[in-house]
Amino acid sequence: MSKTLVGILLALWLSAGLAAASGNLQIYWIDAEGGAATLIVSPGGGSMLVDTANRTADDRDAKRIFAATQKAGLQKIDILLTTHFHSDHIGGMAALVKMIPIGMYLDHGESVEIARPQVAAAYKAYVEQSEGKRRIVKAGDRIPLEGVDVQVIMSAGEGITKPLPGAGAPNAACADFQPHGTEPDPDNDQSVGILLQYGRFRFIDMGDLTWNYEQKLVCPNNLIGKVDLFQTTHHGLDRSNSPQFVWAIQPRVAVMNNGPHKGGPPSVFEVLRKSPGLEDIWQGHLALGTPKEVNTDEKMIANLEPTAQCHGNLLMVSVDSSGQYTMTNLRNGYSKTYQSR
Ligand SMILES: [Zn+2]
């Protein structure tokens, strides 16, 4: 091999390695028009994708997820966590795995909607795809993402029963809790919910867990404590995101992975804005059915157009070891830095 070729190969190898191992924790929110796909890259370059969004004829969401992995410098996805088996969370998996290898598959166990033919088909495909690499997680389990602490706090309808360190205070708002009716799509409440900690920084993603189940973790006592960054639950729909939950975890920053016509009703913005200590809301999409002035500031919204014209711009956060974190809107380059508590 010539010296030049060795040099080129070495440079390629270094750039691939450096891109993946930025030294910061990075989280990317892939815009999936109301589906869910959140890519987490740990400071050492380990990776976990939470959900694979929708299936479309043109593999739109799988391609968008793949593009995010390339931006992050990944050669593979170490862990795929599927929060639950709805089509907006598992739909892109079959196409994605043809684009990039996946090392490990985590989920809550069999779908509770297996009687629905569509769910049964998606679940069967998942079981086949994940054979030999699948692990079912329960509340209290740790997810082995190197360099960060990721704990499962909810899975298959069961939450942690003991408070996380520093948490456990009584939640006065529970006295006003109004239960919602029975959830028509019960697999939402099987969602795997995680709390990721990196130094002082805390990030929470509860999948599509709904209103009645959220409160298991925060009533009568807040078992979670406060978080820095909250991915609004269930795409920012009002079937989730109760005041009891949001005001207990008191996020400093909320990221809503809504679609143009899914998530982000005025009532959810109201709950978020009344949450003590909330500084900003960032959105994957302008919620077109909600008045523009109720949506967050346009500079913090990654996508403004209806689906047909949408470019699928990313939101991302980069977190350093001191707990300082910078949110960036990749549509316009706008960014803002926050401090962990
Ligand atoms: Zn969903």
The rounded Å distance from CA 242 to ligand 1 centre is 17
pLDDT tens for 110-134 read 999 999 998 999 999 999 999 999 9
Which of 245, 250, 285, 290 has its CA nearest to residue 267? 290
How high is the pLDDT of residue 21?
A: 55
Q: In what order do the strands lie in the sheet with 47-50?
A: 134-136, 102-107, 77-81, 47-50, 38-41, 25-29, 315-319, 324-329, 335-339
The rounded Å distance from CA 97 to ligand 1 centre is 20
CA–CA dist 291, 267 (Å, integer): 12
Q: Per-residue pLDDT for 108 more than 80?
A: yes
Which of 121, 96, 123, 97 has its CA nearest to residue 109? 123
The rounded Å distance from CA 21 to ligand 1 centre is 30
The rounded Å distance from CA 3 to ligand 1 centre is 52
How high is the pLDDT of residue 5?
A: 52
For strand 324-329 and strand 38-41, is the pairing parallel, antiparallel, or unpaired? Answer: unpaired
How high is the pLDDT of residue 252?
A: 98
End-to-end CA distance of the chain: 53
What is the percent of the chain with per-residue pLDDT over 70, rounded to a whole number?
94
The rounded Å distance from CA 8 to ligand 1 centre is 44
Which of 124, 81, 73 has its CA nearest to residue 102? 81
pLDDT tens for 190-202 read 999 999 999 999 9
- Mean pLDDT for 92-115 is 97
The rounded Å distance from CA 23 to ligand 1 centre is 31
- Please answer whether residues 255 and 232 qualify as being in contact, where contact means their C-beta atoms are separated by less than 8 angstroms: yes
The rounded Å distance from CA 12 to ligand 1 centre is 38
The rounded Å distance from CA 89 to ligand 1 centre is 6
Q: Per-residue pLDDT for 246 more than 90?
A: yes
pLDDT tens for 26-82 read 999 999 999 999 999 999 999 999 999 999 999 999 999 999 999 999 999 999 999
The rounded Å distance from CA 191 to ligand 1 centre is 10
The rounded Å distance from CA 2 to ligand 1 centre is 52
- Mean pLDDT for 147-164 is 98
How high is the pLDDT of residue 14?
A: 44
pLDDT tens for 6-26 read 554 444 444 444 445 569 999
The rounded Å distance from CA 207 to ligand 1 centre is 7
CA–CA dist 125, 123 (Å, integer): 5
The rounded Å distance from CA 255 to ligand 1 centre is 15
How high is the pLDDT of residue 239?
A: 96
Under the banding of pLDDT at 50, 70 and 90, the label for residue 183 is confident
The rounded Å distance from CA 257 to ligand 1 centre is 10
The rounded Å distance from CA 227 to ligand 1 centre is 22
The rounded Å distance from CA 31 to ligand 1 centre is 13
The rounded Å distance from CA 13 to ligand 1 centre is 37
